[in-house]
Protein backbone atom coordinates (compact mmCIF):
# COMPACT_ATOMS: atom_id res chain seq x y z
CA UNK A 1 0.00 0.00 0.00
CA UNK A 2 1.40 3.37 -1.06
CA UNK A 3 2.07 6.02 1.55
CA UNK A 4 0.30 9.37 1.15
CA UNK A 5 2.03 12.71 1.80
CA UNK A 6 -0.78 15.16 2.45
CA UNK A 7 1.00 16.68 5.44
CA UNK A 8 4.26 17.48 3.63
CA UNK A 9 5.25 20.94 2.48
CA UNK A 10 6.12 21.58 -1.13
CA UNK A 11 9.88 21.52 -0.53
CA UNK A 12 9.60 17.73 -0.11
CA UNK A 13 8.11 17.33 -3.61
CA UNK A 14 10.32 19.94 -5.27
CA UNK A 15 13.47 18.34 -3.89
CA UNK A 16 12.38 14.87 -4.91
CA UNK A 17 11.53 15.84 -8.48
CA UNK A 18 14.52 18.21 -8.69
CA UNK A 19 12.21 20.99 -9.83
CA UNK A 20 13.77 24.42 -10.26
CA UNK A 21 11.94 26.92 -8.06
CA UNK A 22 13.95 29.88 -9.29
CA UNK A 23 16.03 30.43 -6.18
CA UNK A 24 18.13 32.82 -8.24
CA UNK A 25 15.15 35.15 -8.69
CA UNK A 26 16.02 37.40 -5.79
CA UNK A 27 16.87 41.04 -5.25
CA UNK A 28 16.51 43.38 -8.28
CA UNK A 29 15.44 40.56 -10.61
CA UNK A 30 12.59 39.52 -8.35
CA UNK A 31 11.52 43.15 -7.87
CA UNK A 32 11.56 43.66 -11.63
CA UNK A 33 9.37 40.61 -12.22
CA UNK A 34 6.91 41.72 -9.54
CA UNK A 35 6.71 45.25 -10.98
CA UNK A 36 6.25 43.87 -14.49
CA UNK A 37 3.53 41.49 -13.35
CA UNK A 38 1.80 44.12 -11.21
CA UNK A 39 1.61 46.58 -14.10
CA UNK A 40 0.04 44.07 -16.46
CA UNK A 41 -2.35 42.77 -13.80
CA UNK A 42 -3.58 46.32 -13.14
CA UNK A 43 -4.07 46.78 -16.88
CA UNK A 44 -6.00 43.49 -17.01
CA UNK A 45 -8.32 44.60 -14.20
CA UNK A 46 -8.98 48.08 -15.61
CA UNK A 47 -9.32 47.19 -19.31
CA UNK A 48 -11.53 44.14 -18.83
CA UNK A 49 -13.70 46.07 -16.38
CA UNK A 50 -14.18 48.67 -19.13
CA UNK A 51 -15.23 45.94 -21.58
CA UNK A 52 -17.80 44.56 -19.15
CA UNK A 53 -19.08 48.05 -18.33
CA UNK A 54 -19.37 48.87 -22.04
CA UNK A 55 -21.55 45.80 -22.66
CA UNK A 56 -23.76 46.71 -19.70
CA UNK A 57 -24.00 50.40 -20.62
CA UNK A 58 -24.56 50.24 -24.37
CA UNK A 59 -27.93 48.73 -25.27
CA UNK A 60 -26.61 47.86 -28.71
CA UNK A 61 -24.47 45.22 -26.99
CA UNK A 62 -27.44 43.53 -25.31
CA UNK A 63 -27.19 40.44 -27.51
CA UNK A 64 -25.89 36.90 -26.84
CA UNK A 65 -22.59 37.47 -28.65
CA UNK A 66 -21.65 40.47 -26.53
CA UNK A 67 -22.85 38.85 -23.30
CA UNK A 68 -20.45 36.01 -24.02
CA UNK A 69 -17.74 38.50 -24.95
CA UNK A 70 -18.26 40.19 -21.58
CA UNK A 71 -17.99 36.80 -19.90
CA UNK A 72 -14.70 36.24 -21.73
CA UNK A 73 -13.53 39.57 -20.30
CA UNK A 74 -14.65 38.33 -16.87
CA UNK A 75 -12.52 35.21 -17.40
CA UNK A 76 -9.54 37.46 -18.19
CA UNK A 77 -10.29 39.50 -15.07
CA UNK A 78 -10.29 36.27 -13.07
CA UNK A 79 -6.99 35.34 -14.74
CA UNK A 80 -5.57 38.60 -13.40
CA UNK A 81 -6.55 37.52 -9.88
CA UNK A 82 -4.89 34.14 -10.47
CA UNK A 83 -1.67 35.83 -11.65
CA UNK A 84 -1.60 38.14 -8.63
CA UNK A 85 -1.92 35.13 -6.32
CA UNK A 86 0.78 33.35 -8.32
CA UNK A 87 3.21 36.28 -8.13
CA UNK A 88 3.24 36.19 -4.35
CA UNK A 89 3.39 32.39 -4.16
CA UNK A 90 6.12 31.52 -6.64
CA UNK A 91 9.91 31.45 -6.87
CA UNK A 92 11.61 30.79 -3.53
CA UNK A 93 8.21 30.96 -1.78
CA UNK A 94 7.02 27.87 -3.66
CA UNK A 95 8.92 25.48 -1.40
CA UNK A 96 7.30 26.92 1.73
CA UNK A 97 3.73 26.38 0.52
CA UNK A 98 1.42 23.74 1.92
CA UNK A 99 -0.10 21.21 -0.45
CA UNK A 100 -3.53 22.86 -0.24
CA UNK A 101 -2.15 26.34 -0.95
CA UNK A 102 -0.24 25.02 -3.97
CA UNK A 103 -3.38 23.31 -5.24
CA UNK A 104 -5.20 26.65 -4.88
CA UNK A 105 -2.47 28.46 -6.81
CA UNK A 106 -2.60 26.07 -9.74
CA UNK A 107 -6.37 25.63 -9.54
CA UNK A 108 -6.93 29.35 -10.09
CA UNK A 109 -4.79 29.27 -13.25
CA UNK A 110 -6.50 26.12 -14.56
CA UNK A 111 -9.93 27.58 -13.86
CA UNK A 112 -9.16 30.81 -15.73
CA UNK A 113 -7.83 28.89 -18.75
CA UNK A 114 -10.84 26.57 -18.84
CA UNK A 115 -13.29 29.48 -18.49
CA UNK A 116 -11.71 31.24 -21.47
CA UNK A 117 -11.53 28.08 -23.54
CA UNK A 118 -15.10 26.93 -22.92
CA UNK A 119 -16.34 30.50 -23.44
CA UNK A 120 -14.67 30.64 -26.86
CA UNK A 121 -16.23 27.27 -27.71
CA UNK A 122 -19.70 28.56 -26.75
CA UNK A 123 -19.10 31.71 -28.83
CA UNK A 124 -18.25 29.43 -31.76
CA UNK A 125 -21.61 27.68 -31.35
CA UNK A 126 -23.41 31.03 -31.06
CA UNK A 127 -21.68 32.35 -34.19
CA UNK A 128 -22.55 29.15 -36.06
CA UNK A 129 -26.22 29.49 -35.09
CA UNK A 130 -26.40 33.07 -36.30
CA UNK A 131 -24.11 33.01 -39.32
CA UNK A 132 -25.74 29.97 -40.91
CA UNK A 133 -29.00 31.94 -40.81
CA UNK A 134 -27.16 35.02 -42.13
CA UNK A 135 -28.07 36.99 -39.03
CA UNK A 136 -25.85 39.30 -37.02
CA UNK A 137 -27.01 37.81 -33.72
CA UNK A 138 -28.52 34.49 -32.70
CA UNK A 139 -31.96 34.03 -31.17
CA UNK A 140 -30.70 32.79 -27.81
CA UNK A 141 -32.82 34.14 -24.98
CA UNK A 142 -31.31 35.88 -21.96
CA UNK A 143 -32.22 32.88 -19.80
CA UNK A 144 -30.33 30.51 -22.06
CA UNK A 145 -27.32 32.81 -22.23
CA UNK A 146 -27.36 33.08 -18.44
CA UNK A 147 -27.52 29.29 -18.18
CA UNK A 148 -24.60 28.98 -20.60
CA UNK A 149 -22.49 31.45 -18.61
CA UNK A 150 -23.23 29.63 -15.34
CA UNK A 151 -22.37 26.32 -17.03
CA UNK A 152 -19.07 27.75 -18.33
CA UNK A 153 -17.98 28.68 -14.83
CA UNK A 154 -19.21 25.42 -13.34
CA UNK A 155 -17.11 23.46 -15.85
CA UNK A 156 -14.12 25.76 -15.27
CA UNK A 157 -14.26 25.39 -11.49
CA UNK A 158 -14.64 21.62 -11.76
CA UNK A 159 -11.67 21.28 -14.14
CA UNK A 160 -9.58 23.50 -11.89
CA UNK A 161 -10.43 21.29 -8.91
CA UNK A 162 -9.83 17.89 -10.56
CA UNK A 163 -6.28 17.44 -9.17
CA UNK A 164 -7.48 18.43 -5.70
CA UNK A 165 -10.30 15.91 -5.94
CA UNK A 166 -7.87 13.02 -6.38
CA UNK A 167 -6.05 13.04 -9.71
CA UNK A 168 -2.66 13.80 -8.19
CA UNK A 169 0.46 11.96 -7.09
CA UNK A 170 0.33 12.50 -3.32
CA UNK A 171 -0.14 8.77 -2.77
CA UNK A 172 2.18 7.67 -5.59
CA UNK A 173 5.10 10.05 -5.86
CA UNK A 174 6.77 7.91 -8.53
CA UNK A 175 4.38 9.39 -11.13
CA UNK A 176 4.82 13.05 -10.09
CA UNK A 177 5.63 15.51 -12.85
CA UNK A 178 8.54 17.91 -12.88
CA UNK A 179 6.83 21.25 -13.54
CA UNK A 180 3.91 20.51 -11.24
CA UNK A 181 5.46 18.24 -8.59
CA UNK A 182 2.19 17.08 -7.01
CA UNK A 183 0.34 16.62 -10.31
CA UNK A 184 0.30 13.18 -11.87
CA UNK A 185 1.98 13.00 -15.26
CA UNK A 186 -1.10 11.25 -16.66
CA UNK A 187 -3.20 14.25 -15.66
CA UNK A 188 -0.85 16.65 -17.45
CA UNK A 189 -1.10 14.55 -20.60
CA UNK A 190 -4.92 14.50 -20.35
CA UNK A 191 -5.11 18.24 -19.61
CA UNK A 192 -2.78 19.39 -22.37
CA UNK A 193 -4.12 17.05 -25.06
CA UNK A 194 -7.73 17.98 -24.25
CA UNK A 195 -6.99 21.69 -24.58
CA UNK A 196 -4.93 21.29 -27.75
CA UNK A 197 -7.69 19.22 -29.38
CA UNK A 198 -10.29 21.87 -28.48
CA UNK A 199 -7.94 24.52 -29.94
CA UNK A 200 -7.77 22.61 -33.20
CA UNK A 201 -11.53 22.06 -33.38
CA UNK A 202 -12.29 25.74 -32.77
CA UNK A 203 -9.77 26.91 -35.35
CA UNK A 204 -11.31 24.60 -37.96
CA UNK A 205 -14.87 25.70 -37.07
CA UNK A 206 -14.05 29.41 -37.18
CA UNK A 207 -12.19 29.12 -40.47
CA UNK A 208 -15.15 27.26 -41.97
CA UNK A 209 -17.64 29.83 -40.68
CA UNK A 210 -15.50 32.70 -41.88
CA UNK A 211 -15.21 31.23 -45.38
CA UNK A 212 -18.98 30.73 -45.43
CA UNK A 213 -19.58 34.35 -44.39
CA UNK A 214 -17.20 35.69 -46.99
CA UNK A 215 -18.80 33.62 -49.72
CA UNK A 216 -22.37 34.54 -48.77
CA UNK A 217 -21.50 38.21 -48.32
CA UNK A 218 -19.94 38.41 -51.75
CA UNK A 219 -22.99 36.75 -53.33
CA UNK A 220 -25.54 38.87 -51.50
CA UNK A 221 -23.69 42.16 -51.95
CA UNK A 222 -24.58 42.26 -55.65
CA UNK A 223 -28.26 41.56 -54.97
CA UNK A 224 -29.03 43.72 -51.95
CA UNK A 225 -29.45 47.44 -51.60
CA UNK A 226 -28.45 47.59 -47.91
CA UNK A 227 -25.55 49.70 -46.79
CA UNK A 228 -22.04 48.39 -47.16
CA UNK A 229 -21.55 48.89 -43.44
CA UNK A 230 -24.50 46.65 -42.61
CA UNK A 231 -23.42 43.92 -44.99
CA UNK A 232 -19.94 43.92 -43.47
CA UNK A 233 -21.14 43.65 -39.87
CA UNK A 234 -21.14 39.82 -39.66
CA UNK A 235 -17.68 39.76 -41.22
CA UNK A 236 -16.38 42.33 -38.73
CA UNK A 237 -17.72 40.31 -35.79
CA UNK A 238 -16.08 37.18 -37.16
CA UNK A 239 -12.77 39.03 -37.57
CA UNK A 240 -12.97 40.09 -33.93
CA UNK A 241 -13.66 36.56 -32.72
CA UNK A 242 -11.00 34.99 -34.93
CA UNK A 243 -8.39 37.51 -33.77
CA UNK A 244 -9.24 36.75 -30.14
CA UNK A 245 -9.06 33.02 -30.82
CA UNK A 246 -5.78 33.40 -32.69
CA UNK A 247 -4.21 35.34 -29.82
CA UNK A 248 -5.48 32.74 -27.34
CA UNK A 249 -4.01 29.83 -29.30
CA UNK A 250 -0.66 31.57 -29.85
CA UNK A 251 -0.31 32.57 -26.18
CA UNK A 252 -1.39 29.27 -24.61
CA UNK A 253 -0.16 26.59 -27.04
CA UNK A 254 3.57 26.79 -26.07
CA UNK A 255 2.73 26.32 -22.39
CA UNK A 256 0.43 23.40 -23.11
CA UNK A 257 3.09 21.74 -25.28
CA UNK A 258 5.58 22.11 -22.41
CA UNK A 259 3.08 20.49 -20.02
CA UNK A 260 2.55 17.67 -22.51
CA UNK A 261 6.29 17.05 -22.76
CA UNK A 262 6.53 17.03 -18.98
CA UNK A 263 3.63 14.59 -18.79
CA UNK A 264 5.44 12.34 -21.26
CA UNK A 265 8.46 12.51 -18.93
CA UNK A 266 10.75 14.14 -21.46
CA UNK A 267 13.87 14.72 -19.36
CA UNK A 268 16.01 16.14 -22.19
CA UNK A 269 13.58 18.79 -23.45
CA UNK A 270 14.84 21.66 -21.29
CA UNK A 271 11.34 22.58 -20.14
CA UNK A 272 12.57 24.05 -16.85
CA UNK A 273 14.31 26.89 -18.70
CA UNK A 274 11.25 28.06 -20.65
CA UNK A 275 8.36 27.46 -18.26
CA UNK A 276 8.30 30.94 -16.68
CA UNK A 277 8.51 32.70 -20.05
CA UNK A 278 5.61 30.71 -21.46
CA UNK A 279 3.65 31.60 -18.34
CA UNK A 280 4.31 35.30 -19.02
CA UNK A 281 3.14 34.71 -22.61
CA UNK A 282 -0.12 33.31 -21.24
CA UNK A 283 -0.42 36.41 -19.05
CA UNK A 284 -0.11 38.62 -22.12
CA UNK A 285 -3.21 36.98 -23.60
CA UNK A 286 -5.40 38.57 -20.93
CA UNK A 287 -3.71 41.89 -21.70
CA UNK A 288 -4.25 41.58 -25.46
CA UNK A 289 -7.96 40.72 -25.49
CA UNK A 290 -9.34 44.14 -24.40
CA UNK A 291 -7.06 45.78 -26.96
CA UNK A 292 -8.41 43.47 -29.65
CA UNK A 293 -12.03 44.23 -28.67
CA UNK A 294 -11.49 47.98 -28.93
CA UNK A 295 -9.38 47.81 -32.09
CA UNK A 296 -11.51 45.40 -34.11
CA UNK A 297 -14.94 46.62 -32.93
CA UNK A 298 -15.36 50.35 -33.55
CA UNK A 299 -18.52 50.63 -31.45
CA UNK A 300 -16.87 48.91 -28.50
CA UNK A 301 -14.00 51.38 -28.79
CA UNK A 302 -16.47 54.26 -29.07
CA UNK A 303 -18.36 53.18 -25.95
CA UNK A 304 -15.21 52.67 -23.90
CA UNK A 305 -13.78 56.00 -25.06
CA UNK A 306 -17.03 57.78 -24.32
CA UNK A 307 -17.08 56.41 -20.77
CA UNK A 308 -13.51 57.54 -20.13
CA UNK A 309 -14.04 60.88 -21.86
CA UNK A 310 -17.29 61.73 -20.11
CA UNK A 311 -15.93 60.60 -16.76
CA UNK A 312 -12.91 62.90 -17.05
CA UNK A 313 -15.03 65.82 -18.24
CA UNK A 314 -17.52 65.25 -15.42
CA UNK A 315 -14.69 65.58 -12.93
CA UNK A 316 -13.39 68.67 -14.71
CA UNK A 317 -16.88 70.20 -14.65
CA UNK A 318 -17.17 69.60 -10.91
CA UNK A 319 -13.90 71.45 -10.33
CA UNK A 320 -15.01 74.38 -12.50
CA UNK A 321 -18.65 74.54 -11.42
CA UNK A 322 -18.03 77.34 -8.92
CA UNK A 323 -16.52 79.54 -11.65
CA UNK A 324 -18.38 78.57 -14.81
CA UNK A 325 -22.19 78.76 -14.70
CA UNK A 326 -22.93 76.43 -17.58
CA UNK A 327 -20.85 74.00 -19.56
CA UNK A 328 -21.73 71.29 -22.02
CA UNK A 329 -19.83 68.23 -20.85
CA UNK A 330 -20.50 65.82 -23.63
CA UNK A 331 -22.95 65.93 -26.52
CA UNK A 332 -23.76 62.26 -26.15
CA UNK A 333 -25.29 62.91 -22.68
CA UNK A 334 -27.74 65.51 -24.04
CA UNK A 335 -28.72 64.03 -27.37
CA UNK A 336 -30.58 60.81 -28.11
CA UNK A 337 -28.98 57.48 -28.91
CA UNK A 338 -29.12 58.39 -32.60
CA UNK A 339 -26.16 60.69 -32.07
CA UNK A 340 -24.10 57.77 -30.78
CA UNK A 341 -24.48 56.05 -34.12
CA UNK A 342 -23.58 59.23 -35.98
CA UNK A 343 -20.64 59.74 -33.66
CA UNK A 344 -19.29 56.30 -34.46
CA UNK A 345 -19.60 56.92 -38.19
CA UNK A 346 -18.08 60.40 -38.05
CA UNK A 347 -15.43 59.48 -35.49
CA UNK A 348 -16.57 62.11 -32.98
CA UNK A 349 -17.09 61.02 -29.38
CA UNK A 350 -17.50 63.65 -26.65
CA UNK A 351 -16.47 66.23 -29.23
CA UNK A 352 -13.05 64.74 -29.90
CA UNK A 353 -11.22 61.63 -31.08
CA UNK A 354 -10.95 60.07 -34.51
CA UNK A 355 -11.98 56.47 -34.88
CA UNK A 356 -11.00 56.25 -38.54
CA UNK A 357 -11.47 53.01 -40.33
CA UNK A 358 -9.88 51.00 -37.54
CA UNK A 359 -12.95 48.87 -36.96
CA UNK A 360 -13.12 47.85 -40.60
CA UNK A 361 -9.68 46.24 -40.53
For residues 80 and 41, is the Cβ–Cβ distance under 8 A?
Answer: yes
Let me know if residue 349 belongs to a domain: no
Q: What is the mean pLDDT of residues 173-180?
A: 86
Residues forming beta bridges with residue 9, ordered by sequence position? 98
pLDDT over 60 at 186, yes or no = yes
Question: In a 3-state reduction of DSSP, which class is residue 98?
Answer: strand
Angle (nearest 5°) at CA 257 between 267 and 175 = 45
pTM: 0.76
Which comes out higher in pLDDT, residue 110 or 295? 110
Q: Which domain holds residue 73?
A: 10-221+233-309
Residues forming beta bridges with residue 98, ordered by sequence position? 9
Residues forming beta bridges with residue 183, ordered by sequence position? 168
Alpha carbon distance 221, 154 (integer Å) = 42
Let me know if residue 92 belongs to a domain: yes
Let me know if residue 319 belongs to a domain: no
Q: What is the mean pLDDT of residues 28-36?
A: 73
Residues forming beta bridges with residue 352, ordered by sequence position? 349
Where residue 63 sits, what CATH number does that domain have? 1.20.1070.10
Let me know if residue 200 belongs to a domain: yes
Alpha carbon distance 204, 107 (integer Å) = 29
Let me know if residue 260 belongs to a domain: yes
pLDDT over 90 at 354, yes or no = no
Angle (nearest 5°) at CA 195 between 194 and 199 = 120
Let me know if residue 271 belongs to a domain: yes
CB-based contacts of 204: which residues, under 8 Å, 6+ apart? none
Question: In the chain, how many domains are there?
Answer: 1
Stretch among 121-130, 184-193, 235-244, 347-356 having the lowest mean pLDDT: 347-356
Instruction: Give pLDDT, residue 34.
Output: 76
Instruction: Give pLDDT, residue 29.
Output: 66
Q: 106 falls in which pLDDT band (50, 70, 90)? A: very high
Let me know if residue 108 belongs to a domain: yes
Q: 203 falls in which pLDDT band (50, 70, 90)? A: confident
pLDDT tens string 267-304: 777 777 777 778 778 888 888 888 887 777 778 888 88
Q: What is the mean pLDDT of residues 131-160?
A: 84
Let me know if residue 15 belongs to a domain: yes
Amino acid sequence: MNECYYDKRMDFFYNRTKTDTADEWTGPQLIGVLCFGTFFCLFIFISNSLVIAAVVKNKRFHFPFYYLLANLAAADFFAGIAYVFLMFNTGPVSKTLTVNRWFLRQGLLDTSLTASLVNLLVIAVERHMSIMRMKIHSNLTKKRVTFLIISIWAIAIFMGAVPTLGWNCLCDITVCSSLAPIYSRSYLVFWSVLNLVVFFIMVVVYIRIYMYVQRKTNVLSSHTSGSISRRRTPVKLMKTVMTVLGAFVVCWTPGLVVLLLDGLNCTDCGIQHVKRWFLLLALLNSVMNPIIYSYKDDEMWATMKRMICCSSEDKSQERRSSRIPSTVLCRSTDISGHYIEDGIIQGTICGKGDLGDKGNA
